[in-house]
């Protein structure tokens, strides 16, 4: 329950920031171009906070799923003659185009600044080391093996799994054949080629690495005792560092094997053989009964040993200086934008699964998880969401900024505004498209929750 509340809070904060940035773009440019702004609203529906400052009313509304900037407009009410020069609808087409385009443009500017901040602070990620490779998978056929670490993809250096995945997908959509350099513990450096030309399979629902047959490296808990608290294990004489060889004559391969065996034998004595500095010792333990999720399980009061040096070796912090961070943030924003546009085009062509479209629930989970990781991850998530909102609003769909920009382009070409009849039809079509898109996104969210 607390986790869900955290997701909701992170979602509200994230969406609130992105909406404010988007609407501020419209507001700021409109003011600079001499258009009168009547209301600046973050959120939709009934206001929960409103304050008049000068000629503009600033509003915080109930529903955090949108916002708007209301400008003086002769199509929405009477405009006094002395204020006609400040009405939006009476501005030259280039001014109207600039004001409308400012919202999405501010989303991209925000993404650049957000990525810059993450690079300056430092982005923590997992080193792209392969844990397992599925037999006969794309990765296996490309000679990728366990413990190989990605060094570069398509000539671009990579340091984390996130960078690796984005680069793999981007190069796959561009060429279909992706070259990668890997460092193997035993084999040294090697260059492999992955055949990623089957974009339908690549863009189907699911994790990209799973489709390639790659399971990222994760720490394997060996059957070695770590911290021992007061209880059965300590009373029996077990020490930190003891490696379990067998229990009741059964060979133990992992810590999870040991945990399952102990949990199934609450109150039942067991014979445990351990290896302590090369010496075999045997202990008798009787797991203490404990209640867990309505079931009685056995416990001995011990935790697994964790090789912290090995764990830290797989953690990477990507950090740059202020000037280099800015250039990298520009490149990152460009790359994510281009990749998103390519994915959208594949969706339109039917080459990508519609299940890739996410709604508020998935965004809330993403924002919540990133917020739990740290400020840098959360800011990075804001940048990605901001780019997505910017692109969405530039789509030529009536009701969105892109739809209005499309009308203005027609006006520039033909020399006169689009007729009110066409605009009205476009509005109805736009509402239908947006409702359909929202329904699909909600359906995908609910499907993911139930599966």
Specify the 3-state DSSP secondary structure of 188: strand
For helices 401-414 and 93-121, give the axis angle rounded to 10 degrees: 140
Strand order from edge to edge, sheet including 243-247? 250-251, 243-247, 270-276, 279-285
What the block records as the tokens of 434 is: 């947006």
Q: Is 23 a catalytic residue?
A: yes
Q: Provide the strand spans (E) within 56-205.
A: 56-71, 123-126, 130-133, 149-153, 156-157, 177-184, 188-195
> Under 8 Å CB-to-CB from 156, ≥6 apart: which residues?
167
**Do 187 and 219 touch, CB atoms closer than 8 A?**
no
CA atoms within 13 A on the CB side of 141: 9
Return the bridge partners of 179, or none.
Answer: 193
Could you tell me what percentage of the chain is helix, strand and coil, using 3-state DSSP and rounding each to the nearest 5? 50, 25, 25
What the block records as the tokens of 226 is: 């770590």
CA atoms within 13 A on the CB side of 399: 12
Whole-angstrom distance, CA of residue 110 vs CA of residue 382? 9
Q: Kindly list the distances between the CA atom of residue 116 and the CA atoms of 123, 335, 337, 361, in Å, as whole numbers in the listed order.
A: 11, 14, 16, 27
What the block records as the tokens of 357 is: 């479209």
Buried b (16+ CB within 10 A) or exposed e, 337-348: bebbebbbebee
**Do 98 and 33 touch, CB atoms closer than 8 A?**
yes
Please give the helix or strand (H or E) that residue 243 lies within, else none: strand 243-247
- Catalytic residue ranges: 23
């Amino acid at each position: 329950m607390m986790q869900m509340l955290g997701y909701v809070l992170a979602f509200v904060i994230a969406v609130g920031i992105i909406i404010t940035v988007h609407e501020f773009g419209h507001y700021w440019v409109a003011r600079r171009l001499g258009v009168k702004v009547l209301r600046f609203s973050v959120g939709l529906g009934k206001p929960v906070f409103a304050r008049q400052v000068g000629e503009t009313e600033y509003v915080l509304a109930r529903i955090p799923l949108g916002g708007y900037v209301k400008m003086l407009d002769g199509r929405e009410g009477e405009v006094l003659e002395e204020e006609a020069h400040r009405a939006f609808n009476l501005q030259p087409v280039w001014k109207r185009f600039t004001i409308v385009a400012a919202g999405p443009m501010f989303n991209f500017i925000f993404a650049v600044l957000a990525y810059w901040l993450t690079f300056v602070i430092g982005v923590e990620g997992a080193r792209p080391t392969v844990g397992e490779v599925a037999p006969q998978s794309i990765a296996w056929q490309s000679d990728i093996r366990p413990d190989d670490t990605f060094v570069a993809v398509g000539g671009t250096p990579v340091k984390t799994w996130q960078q690796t995945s984005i680069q793999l997908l981007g190069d796959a959509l561009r060429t279909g054949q992706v070259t990668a350099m890997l460092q193997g513990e035993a084999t040294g450096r090697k260059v492999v080629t992955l055949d990623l030309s089957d974009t339908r399979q690549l863009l189907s629902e699911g994790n990209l690495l799973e489709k390639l047959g790659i399971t990222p490296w994760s720490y394997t808990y060996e059957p070695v005792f770590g911290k021992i608290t007061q209880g059965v294990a300590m009373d029996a004489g077990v020490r930190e560092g003891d490696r379990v060889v067998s229990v009741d004559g059964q060979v133990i391969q992992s810590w999870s094997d040991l945990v399952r065996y102990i949990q199934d034998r609450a109150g039942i004595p067991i014979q445990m053989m351990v290896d302590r500095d090369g010496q075999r010792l045997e202990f008798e333990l009787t797991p203490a009964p404990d209640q867990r999720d309505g079931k009685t399980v056995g416990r001995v009061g011990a935790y697994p040993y964790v090789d912290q040096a090995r764990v830290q070796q797989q953690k990477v912090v990507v950090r740059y200086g202020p000037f280099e961070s800015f250039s990298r943030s520009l490149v990152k924003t460009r790359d994510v934008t281009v990749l998103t546009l390519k994915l959208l085009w594949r969706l339109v062509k039917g080459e990508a699964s519609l299940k890739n479209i996410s709604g508020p629930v998935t965004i809330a989970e993403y924002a919540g998880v990133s917020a739990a990781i740290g400020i840098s991850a959360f800011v990075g998530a804001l940048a990605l969401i901001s780019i997505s909102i910017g692109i969405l609003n530039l789509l030529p769909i009536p009701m969105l900024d892109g739809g209005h920009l499309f009308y203005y382009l027609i006006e520039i070409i033909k020399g006169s505004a689009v007729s009110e009849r066409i605009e009205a039809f476009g509005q109805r079509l736009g509402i239908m498209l947006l409702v359909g898109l929202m329904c699909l996104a909600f359906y995908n969210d609910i499907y993911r929750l139930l599966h």
